[in-house]
Chain A
């Protein structure tokens, strides 16, 4: 048979990057569906004797542990009868309506069951989700977070990239590891680098949960985020956990004065083979309510590391925007994803970010890669440092505060160099493997780990072990910096340690200024109520966004 004659048009389309992405149809039985699975429960609530005795058609005696936790701790029983009596459409209207105050919406939302919330979200199209996010986010001023990692865990690159990330405006920065035993050194690099680039920047090290808590208590990190919750019981059990154990962990952080948020996201349950046929968004709503029930101030969601799953099914990116909205509508901080690769297509990956970018969220990214993606040890972010000028242009094109600021090459090189020098001194004070002048120079001018010579990894790992064994803390870092004449950096690291004594940054959606002042949803509440209200760019901030260094200045011609 003759070969079928092909259309050149279709052959061309098949060569486009989008054709490398995985797309799959919906498959309800295994929960491969973004929103509105026919297996999702039908909303209902029955309350007797001050307890929920039936929720979403499930009787109390049949609750699994997630349902029990949500029923007992995450639903406002006073509000529930009134809120559950409203139609889903009516509640969706209120979320979008600029005449209904945010606080009225959060009250109603806290009286709803998981199935009801999932259905309310299904009433909203993407433009309405953006409008609702603008009104419902907790803190008025938007922000953003970076990933700072290295494929070789190179401490000098990490300290320099952390300094640059802070300079570029990320209010929080997160690291993780290529080799897990490097973790304390990575945390140390971020702690110092962040305070060089923009004092007050919060840093964390995403790792095994007990370890995260330990290095937080030692003052090597300022917050934590990777405390994961799941929508079905089996996935929780697979991780040896329950909602109660996670709540206990949350209280450990609070009692030590450390900021923290939970992490969840659509697609994790089906990814782990235990979605029970429920839609990704319904299961995610359970996670969000578990977070609320545990008394945690915020949540990182927006599918996160499972984004390939909702990203592959119809309406998946809408579901992701909806899960961010549910988080803020339940009056919590959201770190809204955009932190993981999910598409080969530049068009798709840009579009994926625009709902959070246009609306503004507490952290638009919960990891914009502050390094090239080849160094991103979260397996790649949706945007990386090589996209940064595109991002700055988008802020300027749309007059949007996306949390970043244009920087000059000179100031960037300067903070990278200073951070690397400070770490060099601290390594010497601690008796760690020396950082050479050549390494400092390479890290100062590098783009990624390919531009710096490899370190002796086993020797570095011994130093990491020593750091843990000798009980080195943030205070020791302060002392080492001060001893070597880096008094200004020492003061700022100390300022971060003091945060956990005052505890102000435990408030919802907190960030810290360069002088140690804390802004949060308490003193910067979102008061959006239509055009010309809510967050407005200050003239200074707009000047900053406008002035991308590579724009032609009319006065120069």
Chain B
């Protein structure tokens, strides 16, 4: 993917505009339908997220802008597709999922850990808008993890499916082979500057005083 100064400038301008007018878009407590490039995600808030009791559930934890102000990952995987794959991976293993949005941090480790703490099985998945993901477990320290996928430019739809599957296997108490780690030493030179801008934008949608909210998600 090529990005140029114009694109960077546009992203920065959007960030600045939103930072300048933070209260403009206070979240309405009703269903929001966001238009993705290939499909729609329908978000229905269910109130503050509670700790689950289902021992076969995996909590998918997302930052506020996921599937909303952002619609695709850094390599253009649509967020609807990301969720579809993760959900499918979880269901293939006979497990269930719940979706929460975490508002107080844009650190993917803490987002995933927040999900794990609310999960009936103790297993959570955190996914940033640009794609960076973590499979986490309640008992671990926040910056530890079961599996970490730090290089978002290498995460395609297939990897998200495997992330869902493996998280479900952990939820069932299995000890799966970790999703094979992909490594591209040239991802940083190509993407890091852009990732920095995306993260600035991700962080601009945080609400540091707000507790996690559970959503039902429908993908059209």
Contact = CB atoms under 8 A, between A and B. Distances in A.
A179 B147 contact: yes
A23 B194 CA distance: 10
Q: Is the interface of A mostly helix, strand, loop or mixed?
A: loop
A20 B190 contact: yes
B190 A21 contact: yes
B105 interface: yes
Nearest to A312: B193
Contact of B175 (A240, A308, A458): A458
Interface residues of A, number: 55
Contact of B146 (A21, A180, A238, A379): A180
B217 interface: no
A379 B193 contact: no
Interface string A1-40: 0000000000000000000111111010110100000000
Interface string B175-189: 111100101111111
Interface string A197-236: 0000000000111110000000000000000000000000
B183 A377 contact: yes
A238 B186 contact: no
Interface string B192-208: 11111101111110000
B203 A273 contact: yes
Interface in A20-63: 20-25, 27, 29-30, 32
Contacts of A376: 183, 185
A458 B176 contact: yes
B150 interface: yes
The bracket for how many chain B residues form the interface is 35 or more
A307 B145 contact: no
Given A179-B178, A306-B192, A309-B196, A208 B185 contact: no
Contacts of A379: 150-151, 183, 185, 187-188
Contact of B12 (A30, A240, A311): A30
Interface stretch (A88-96, A339-347, A358-366, A535-543): A339-347
Contact of B145 (A20, A27, A180, A340): A180
Nearest to A313: B193
A272 to B, nearest CB: 6
A21 B200 contact: no
Interface in A486-520: none
In the complex, which of the residues A32, A238, A457, A458 has the most CB atoms of chain B within 10 Å of its own CB atom? A238
B107 A151 contact: no
Contacts of A340: 188
A271 B188 CA distance: 12
A115 B200 CA distance: 24
A151 B189 contact: no
Contacts of B188: 305, 307-308, 340-342, 379-380
A460 to B, nearest CB: 10
B143 A208 contact: yes
Given A178-B181, A238-B110, A273-B202, A208 B193 contact: no
A307 to B, nearest CB: 7
Contacts of B142: 240
Contacts of A457: 177-178
Interface in A176-206: 178-181
B190 A270 contact: no
A182 B204 CA distance: 35
A461 B175 contact: yes
Contacts of A312: 192-193
Contacts of A272: 106, 199, 203
Nearest to A461: B175
For A22, A270, A341, A344, which residue has the most chain B Cβ atoms within 10 angstroms?
Answer: A22
B8 A24 contact: yes
A270 B147 contact: no
B15 interface: yes
Residue with the highest number of chain A CB atoms closer than 10 Å, among B8, B141, B193, B204: B193
B141 A210 contact: yes
A99 to B, nearest CB: 41
A319 to B, nearest CB: 15
B190 to A, nearest CB: 6
Interface string A267-284: 100111110000000000
Contacts of A21: 189-190
Contacts of A178: 178, 181, 183
Contacts of B70: none
A430 interface: no
A273 B185 contact: no
A341 B186 contact: yes
B220 interface: no
Interface centre among B150, B192, B204, by most A CB within 10 Å? Answer: B192
A377 B180 CA distance: 13
A294 B105 CA distance: 26
A384 B147 CA distance: 26
- Identify the interface centre among A25, A308, A344: most chain B CB within 10 Å of its CB: A308
Contacts of A239: 107, 143
Cβ-closest 8 pairs across A and B: A380-B185, A308-B192, A273-B203, A273-B200, A178-B181, A22-B193, A373-B185, A312-B193
Interface of A: 20-25, 27, 29-30, 32, 151-152, 178-181, 207-211, 238-240, 267, 270-274, 305-309, 311-312, 340-344, 373-377, 379-381, 384, 457-458, 461-462
Interface of B: 3, 5, 8-9, 12, 15-16, 105-107, 110, 141-148, 150-151, 175-178, 181, 183-197, 199-204
Given A178-B181, A272-B199, 14 more contacts: A22-B194, A24-B8, A25-B5, A27-B8, A30-B12, A152-B181, A210-B141, A238-B110, A308-B192, A312-B193, A341-B189, A342-B192, A377-B183, A458-B176
16 contacts: A24-B5, A25-B9, A30-B15, A30-B200, A32-B12, A180-B146, A238-B107, A239-B143, A271-B199, A272-B106, A273-B202, A274-B203, A308-B191, A376-B185, A379-B187, A458-B176
